Structure 1
Amino acid sequence: MRYSPTTMIDISKIKAISLDLDDTLWPVWPTIGRAEAVLQAWLSDHAPGTAALSADLALKQAIRAEVNARHTDRAHDLSFLRLQSIRAVLQQAGDPVDLAEAAFEVFFAERQRVDLFDDALPALGFWSAKYPIVALSNGNADVHRVGIGQYFHASVSAQSLGVAKPDLRIFVAGAAAAGVQPHEVLHIGDDAHADCVGALAAGMQVAWLNREGHEWTHGETRPHLVVRDLHALCARWPEYTL
C-alpha cells in the first residue's frame, strides 16, 4: 500500500470511540452465508415450494432487487428488506405468507452467531476500560445477541435512526449517544466510504481498518490513521499490551 502522509490521531483529544461492526469485528459474509443456509433448511421443512424457489440464486436475487426497488425509502433497514424478500418468495411459491416472520427469526438468530477476529476482544476490553464505545452500524447485528454488549455504552444503527453511513446524522447521533462532541470521537471502521468519508465529514478523528490493503480512492481528505488490524491501532496507546 502507498498512502500520502496523514495526520496522526491525537489520543489526548479522544473522549469516546464509535465502532463499526461487520467486517470490523468479524467477517460478515461467512455469517450471512450460514444464516442463509439455516433459513434454507428451515424452509425445506416448513415451505418446500419456497425452498425450491430459493435454491435458484438468480431468481432469489431478482426478487430481492425488486423488493429493494419497491422500498427505496427503507434502504437503511436491512431487517425489513430481508423480511419482505422472504414474504415475496413465499407468495410466489404459493406458500402461506404468514410464515415470513418465523422464517426471518430463524435467519436473524443465526445472523447473530459471528466469529470474531482475533483482535476484536482484546481491543474491546482495552478501549471500554478507557472510553464509552458506541456501535455505529449500517447492518442489523445486535451486540447483545452477539455476546459483546458488555463492552458498549450504546448502539446506533441505520435501522434505528433511519439514515445510514456515510450520512452525517448517524455520526452525530453516535457522538451524542456517548455524551461527547463529534470532534472528541475516534471512529473506527473498515469501509472507506461509509465509515471514513462520513466520519471525516462529521469532524471525527478516523482510523481506517484496512485488513485487505486496499488503496484509498476517496479524494484528498484522508483518515488520520490506516491500520491492518486492531492490535496495531491499540498499540498507539503506550499502555496497551497483548
Structure 2
Amino acid sequence: MLDSRHIRAVTLDLDDTLWPVWPAIARAEAVLLEWLATHAPRTAAMLGTTEAVRAIRLQVERERPDLRHDLSGLRRESIRQALGHAGEDTALAEPAFDLFFAHRQKVDLYDDALPALEFLSARWPVIALSNGNANVHTIGLGRYFQASLNVGSTGFAKPDVRMFHAAAQAAGVAPEQVLHVGDDAHLDAMGALGAGMHAVWLNRKGVDWPAQGPAPHATVDSLHSLCRLLEQGS
C-alpha cells in the first residue's frame, strides 16, 4: 500500500503520462517530410514509407549501439544516413532534426496533467524522468519541475536503477523517500521498485498488470486518481 507520509519527492514520467506521445511524433514527422520534400526531395521520397524509415532506424541501431537509448541521436543519425543513401547533402541532417525536434515538443496534454502538476509541485520537489527527448521547458512546464533527467543527461535509461537513483540525488532525498509515477509497467513501475522507490502505475487503458514480480504500491486510472490517493494518505 502507498503511504504518502513517507514521500519526500516525486519522479514523473513524461510521454504517455502527461501527454500521448505518438500524435506529437506523427505531426513532427509530417513536418519533417514536408521540409525534406523542398530541400532534399530524394530523401523525402525514400522516407515516405514506414518500411523505409524502420529499415534505416534498424541499421543505425546496429551500427551505433551507443545510441540505442538516445532518441535524439538515433533520429539525427537516421536522417543523416537517409540523406547519404539518397545522394543528398548530409549537412541538412542538423536543420532537419532541429525542425523535427521543435515540433516534437508541441504536445497535447491530458486533461489531468496540469491539475496534477499543480498538486504535486505544491507538496514535493518533482523530477521529470524520461527515456524520451521531450523538453519540459520548451513545452512550457518547466516551472513544475526541480530537475529533468533523460538518457542524454544521465547516460542511463529506465529501468536502470542508476537513472532512478540519479533522480533521487537531484531531489536531495534517499530512493526510499521517492514516489515514481509512470505509464509503463516494466520501465516505470518495476524499474522504480527495483531502485527501492515507491511506485504508482498509471494505467489509463485499464489493462491487466503485465509484469512478473511484485506489483506497484498502487495502480491508478488517471492523474486525478493519483492526487486523490495521495491526499487521502497524507
- TM-score (norm. length: structure 2): 0.97
CA distance in 2, matches of 1:81, 1:163: 15
Structure-1 residue corresponding to 2:154: 161
Structure-2 residue corresponding to 1:92: 85
Partner secondary structure for residue 236 of structure 1: helix
1:226 maps onto 2:214 in alignment: no
Partner secondary structure for residue 235 of structure 1: helix
Q: Deviations over 1:46-72 (max 9, x none)?
A: 111111111122122101110011111
Q: Deviations over 1:166-204 (max 9, x none)?
A: 000000000000010000000000000000111001111
Q: Deviations over 1:2-61 (max 9, x none)?
A: xxxxxx211100100000000000000001000000100110111111111111221221
Gapped regions of structure 1 (runs ≥ 5)? 1-7
Q: Which amino acid is 2:164 matched to?
A: F
Partner secondary structure for residue 208 of structure 1: strand
CA distance in 1, matches of 2:174, 2:87: 52
RMSD: 1.2
Gapped regions of structure 2 (runs ≥ 5)? none
Q: Which amino acid is 2:138 matched to?
A: R
1:176 maps onto 2:161 in alignment: no
**Residues 1-242 of structure 1 correspond to what in structure 2 (within 5 A)?**
8-238=1-231
- Mean CA deviation greater in 23-32 or 213-222: 213-222
Q: Which amino acid is 2:51 matched to?
A: A
Partner secondary structure for residue 229 of structure 2: coil
Give the superposition deviation at 1:128. Answer: 0.4
CA distance in 1, matches of 2:231, 2:136: 28
CA distance in 2, matches of 1:207, 1:136: 14
Give the superposition deviation at 1:239. Answer: 7.6
Partner secondary structure for residue 41 of structure 1: helix
CA distance in 2, matches of 1:177, 1:237: 22
Give the superposition deviation at 1:156. Answer: 1.0
Change (3 A) 1:238 1:167: closer
Give the superposition deviation at 1:145. Answer: 0.4
CA distance in 1, matches of 2:12, 2:204: 15
Partner secondary structure for residue 130 of structure 1: coil
CA distance in 2, matches of 1:21, 1:238: 22
Q: Which runs of 4+ in 1 moved over 2 A?
A: 237-240
Aligned residues with identical type, % of pairs? 56
Partner secondary structure for residue 218 of structure 1: coil
Q: Which amino acid is 1:105 matched to?
A: D
- TM-score (norm. length: structure 1): 0.94
